[in-house]
Structure 1
Amino acid sequence: MTTIPATSETFPGFDGAPLALHRLGEGRPVVLLHGLFSSATVNWIKYGTAAQLAEAGFACLMPDLRAHGGSAAPHDAEAYPSDVLARDAEALVAHLGLSDFDLVGFSLGARTSARSVIRGMAPRRLVLAGMGLEGLAGWAKRQDFFRDVIDRFGTIRPGDPSYMAQQFLKSTGVDRVAARLLLGTMEDTPPEALKAITMPTLVLCGADDNDNGSADRLAEALPNAERVTIPGTHMSSVTMPELGRELVAFLDRD
């Protein structure tokens, strides 16, 4: 695989906050949204997924979500209205003038992608990775879990169900104050709202990934979805070459 250097820039979020955008490759635009406590670099670049897409002729557009990576992490509650990440995604699409593009999200990025489409975004193809029905319809439970990780940060010991999330948060250095504010911007998405997601959709999940509930049930709730399983847990599936291969196979269709 050819090594292609990524470039970085900023774009204005919905409120003008400077958000980081990383680009890799040339060709058909695909917007990739990373997971909670992660970044575009960790989720898409580090393990070669973006390079696989770029090699296949895609232009990877990878923002760092608000409060993550190189993006602004304000501590002002007004910077975190309901659906703020979907609003920022809309701002990115408008900033780049995209009209024909694909949209891929992992975990929180998948949730943001689904919310963006429900709000009116219209990608040609959609990928919801690392996500199950309960991760959308039962977000309040997940929100409480991550708030607890932030509130007990530094005191969670091995064996605690929250330990791995704490360690990942440590490794990425996400601003915990901003992240806690961000968690409060996300509302449950009832299954009936998923009927608005009519474009071809891939529900892609690790074989041992149940963090966000049932991917099978999510695929069944969507009007035009197919289900694919790759190796890995929620944390490890993004490191697998199968992730990039399945993305290319799905997005490369007419």
Structure 2
Amino acid sequence: MPIFAAPDGTPLAHHTRGDGRPLLCLPGGPMRASAYLGDLGGLTRHRRLHLLDLRGTGESAVPADPATYRCDRQVDDVEAFRAHLGLDRVDLLAHSAGGDLALLYGVRHPERVRSLTLVTGRARALGVDFTAEHRAEGAALRTAEPWFAGAREAYGRIWAGTATDADYEAATPFFYGRWDAAARAHAAAEVGQSNEAAAESYAAPGAFRPAAARAAVAVWGARVLLVSGALDSGPLPRVAAAVADLFPRAEQAVLPGAGHFPWLDDPKGFRETVADFLDDAGPRDGVA
């Protein structure tokens, strides 16, 4: 397991899987260890995945200053990761809350980003986020599911801020396109992979400056792909489409039947969509 030092000296770990051109991967959660990304639906057949454990998660060390969990303060960690790998420009993939970190990295270091893939990614960095109404709209798509009756009220309490631990457990199926054995195992690992204290600091006040970030991405040269699950509510596909409109060179792929973890729900569709995008994303000059 490779280790490198963040600019403040915190030891950070990353994991390498697969072969091919490098793809830097940032996990969501927020602040969930990168293990939950697995092989991203077999994307390892096309790319060498470099999965970063953010500070205080997975095999990375806990920082001396908890304030460094804030999203914008982790941008330097991503830049150190790039330099550690010896790459001049990178293809960057981020899932869920990792989308904010990837966007802030691209805003600060646009010359380092060849392409950006946001997988059901959040975009608070650009002033866009899901709402309780969005969650309700997404939930309405699942009324035929056998678990719906027992999960809907719990799901509503989460976004109302009144949920118990039991509510979080009951509502978990909403995040998956298929609530099968693989989804259950994936969900069961979340608590052990997550740093809840760090998650509370990730989007702390001051982390995002949306107006400046929007102005920056409006002139990006990098290609951007937004991968959405048709059954995901955070963000809804139409919200992701609005994010795509903020970039000069962005496209969206909506995977039918997929939820918030589309590589689990539709591995083939996910890996082929992302691999095709990356193959077309630009010159193959990633190694410094």
Same fold (TM over 0.5): yes
SS at match of 2:260: coil
- TM-score where L is the length of structure 1: 0.77
Unaligned runs of 5+ in 2: 133-156, 176-186, 283-288
**1:14 paired residue number:** 7
SS at match of 2:245: helix
User: 1:247 and 2:267 equivalent?
Assistant: no
Q: Choose between structure 1 and 2: higher helix proportion.
A: 2
**1:204 paired residue number:** 227
| Structure 1 residue 229, shift from structure 2 partner | 0.7
CA contact (8 A) 1:104 1:128 kept: yes
CA contact (8 A) 2:17 2:49 kept: yes
**1:98 paired residue number:** 87
Aligned alpha-carbon RMSD (Å)? 3.3
SS at match of 1:19: strand
**1:175 paired residue number:** 195
**1:76 paired residue number:** 65
Greater Rg by CA: 2
CA contact (8 A) 1:34 1:44 kept: no
CA contact (8 A) 1:102 1:123 kept: yes
**1:29 paired residue number:** 22
Matching residue within 25, 33, 37 for 1:39: 33
Unaligned runs of 5+ in 1: 1-7, 143-147
Deviates more, 1:187-196 or 1:9-18: 187-196
Change (3 A) 1:182 1:134: closer
| Structure 1 residue 126, shift from structure 2 partner | 1.4
Q: Aligned residues: percent identity?
A: 25
Equivalent positions of 1:8-157 (< 5 A) are 8-37=1-30, 38-45=32-39, 48-49=40-41, 51-52=42-43, 54-56=44-46, 58-74=47-63, 76-80=65-69, 83-121=72-110, 122-131=112-121, 136-138=126-128, 155-157=164-166
- TM-score where L is the length of structure 2: 0.69
